[in-house]
Structure 1
Amino acid sequence: MPSSQPRRGREDDVTGSPIEPWFRRFGTAVAHPRARLVCLPHAGGGASLFRSWPQRLASNVDLLAVRYPGRQDRFLEPCLTSMPELVQQLVRALEPFLEEPLVLFGHSMGATIAYEIAISLRHQHGVDVQALLVSGQTPPHRPRRRQIHLLDDEALIAEIRRLGQLDVEVLEDQGLRELVMPAIRADLRLVETHRRETPAVLNVPVVAYTGTSDVTTPLSDVRQWADVTTCDFTFMPFPGDHFYLVDQEVQLLADIHRRLNGMPANTRW
């Protein structure tokens, strides 16, 4: 696994092969993968967050990065503001891939979406994912402490800076700000207004990753992902803020690589 230090790259730096319309593959397609790793980015984020990941994973892992509408090369499409609609569209998009073992990784908003996808796949298709990997997020049965999507632009940008948001300098340019803020605000509204009174419980392993200095996700809240599974739960904190997964990419992917590599082919994790 390469050990070069990752960089906080531009979110509009998109390469790789699109799999229309929902996925992008940054590595070589794997015909019969040990696992297919589906990666879901944060609010306002795009598939390019995961462009360097395939080179740090085994060659028998097929990585699909999710492409939300309203940003990057789906910029002209309207953002989705309904969690059920977004999840249902992604479940339909995943149907051709259900014959192979599926692992979901989601960061921040993507963690909530990944969890809801896992629930829908079980209910609609009788398919359990091999594992649910959630990052930088509290589970949806925990109350949200703030609703920052309701803030005005200046206050919202101040909150984004506080998170350590990728490419925050884009928001300093008025023209670029007008292009990216609608997706950020729509995504925040989507995830901040979504809540489950009680957790829907899965029978799959769950790993919860987080940054130890993440101001949005207290460690005690992240640990509550244990409530969503009857199977193994692992809590994995890393040094860093809400975007610890950029500076800690080598360490994070070493852990994911180890877990995927230890997964028996075509059996439960």
Structure 2
Amino acid sequence: MTTQNSTLRTAAHTAVPTAAPNPEESAWIRRYHPAVADAPRLVCFPHAGGSASFYFPVAKELTPAIDVLVVQYPGRQERRREPLVDNVPELADRAFEELRHYADRPLYLFGHSMGATVAFEIARRFKAAGIPAPERLFASARRAPSRTRTERVHTRDDEGVIKELRKLSGTDDRVLGNEEIMRLALPAIRNDYKAVETYRVDRGVSVDCPITVLIGDTDPNTTLDEVDAWADHTTAGHELQSFSGGHFYLADRQREVLDAITTRISATATIRG
């Protein structure tokens, strides 16, 4: 298999800054609530078509004990006038240039669906730049990077894309039936499906942090075999935790998911309330 993103940018220097910049000065990073000094950081990555605000409830629940940062991809919400990025490697390259400055304290990555793939690529870039690896990668609702299916959602007409969204039950039916909202949202959704559907990486391409895989037990887009293959992509071990629900299980199981996250963060970092 030809690896689409085998060449990573390597930083000219590897020093980790002593203090992170202000997220308010970055188009890429959102911090919805302030955290206590020296709190461990959790960086969240949205799903295909998603935006940073998806994680507002997560930030509300976890701060101030955990410093929750959320990546805002170009082409949505306040960045809606910026060009979309239609491939994972470029998206990861650009996001990493912002996130590399936030490794001055324990750093954890959480990505849902496409966001899990982007988070994996971000972790690879920390490794390539010689910056200490994230403490842990939480990969939610996404099969292992080397496990691919023949999917062409991004080539479907609008009705075909909406049909896929209904299958995943991640979008309110009232939104799916609102022509104006969908007209605004579909370009970003189709763009992100293209990014994730054309992404390829070889088995054995790995990161140096442990991976916790979280899935819904009725998710139509993953199988246990596909998610268990995350073991091929880490040198530090992996684990799998299943929840009741489908692709967007975390919307209904928020408390359980947050407990799973905080339990693992507290095992390697001091959390102060």
TM-score, normalized by the shorter chain, greater than 0.5:
yes
1:191-206 alignment to 2 at 5 Å? 191-206=196-211
**Cα distance in 1, alignment partners of residues 58 and 183 from structure 2:** 30
TM superposition shift of 1:19: 4.9
Aligned to 2:151: 146
Cα–Cα, structure 1 residues 19 and 237, in superposed 2: closer, same or farther, change >3 Å? farther
Instruction: From 109, 119, 133, give the equivalent of 1:114.
Output: 119
Pick the aligned partner of 2:172 from 167, 177, 191: 167
Measure, in 1, the Cα distance between the counterparts of 2:146 and 2:41: 27
The secondary structure found in structure 1 opposite 2:268 is coil
Within the candidate set 16, 20, 25, 2:26 is matched to 20
Q: How many residues align?
A: 249
Deviation at 1:148, TM superposition (A): 1.3
Residue identity opposite 2:153 in structure 1:
I
- Aligned-partner Cα distance in 2 for 1:18–1:69: 16
Q: State the match for 2:104 in structure 1.
A: 99
Helix, strand or coil: the match of 1:51? helix
| Partners of 2:212 and 2:240 within 8 A in 1 | yes
> Residues 192-232 of structure 1: CA distance to partner in whole angstroms, max 9, x if unpaired?
10011223122211100011111011122111111111223
Q: Is residue 263 from structure 1 mapped to residue 268 from structure 2 by the alignment?
A: yes
Question: What residue in structure 2 maps to residue 252 of structure 1?
Answer: 257
Unaligned runs of 5+ in 1: 1-16
Q: Please list, as runs of the form range in 1=range in 2, the aligned pairs for 1:73-84 lying within 5 A after superposition.
A: 73-84=78-89
Tell me the SS of whatever aligns to 2:151. coil
The 4+ residue runs of structure 1 with deviation greater than 6 A are: none
Alignment RMSD (CA, Å): 1.7
Between 210-219 and 53-62, report the one with greater CA deviation: 53-62
Distance 1:164 1:195 in 2: 26
Output the amino acid matched with 1:62.
D
Map 1:177-188 onto structure 2 (within 5 A): 177-188=182-193
Residue-by-residue CA offset, 1:105-159 (whole Å, 9 max, x unaligned): 0000000000000001110233211001000001221122422111111111111
Structural mapping, 1:7-86, within 5 Å: 18-33=24-39, 35-57=40-62, 59-86=64-91
For 2:28, the aligned partner's letter is: W
Counterpart amino acid of 2:77? Q
Q: CA deviation at 1:161?
A: 0.2
The offset of 1:58, in angstroms, is: 6.0
Q: Which moved more, 1:136-145 or 1:164-173?
A: 164-173
Letter in 1 for 2:229: Q
* Alpha-carbon distance between aligned partners in 2 of 1:69 and 1:54, rounded to the nearest angstrom: 21
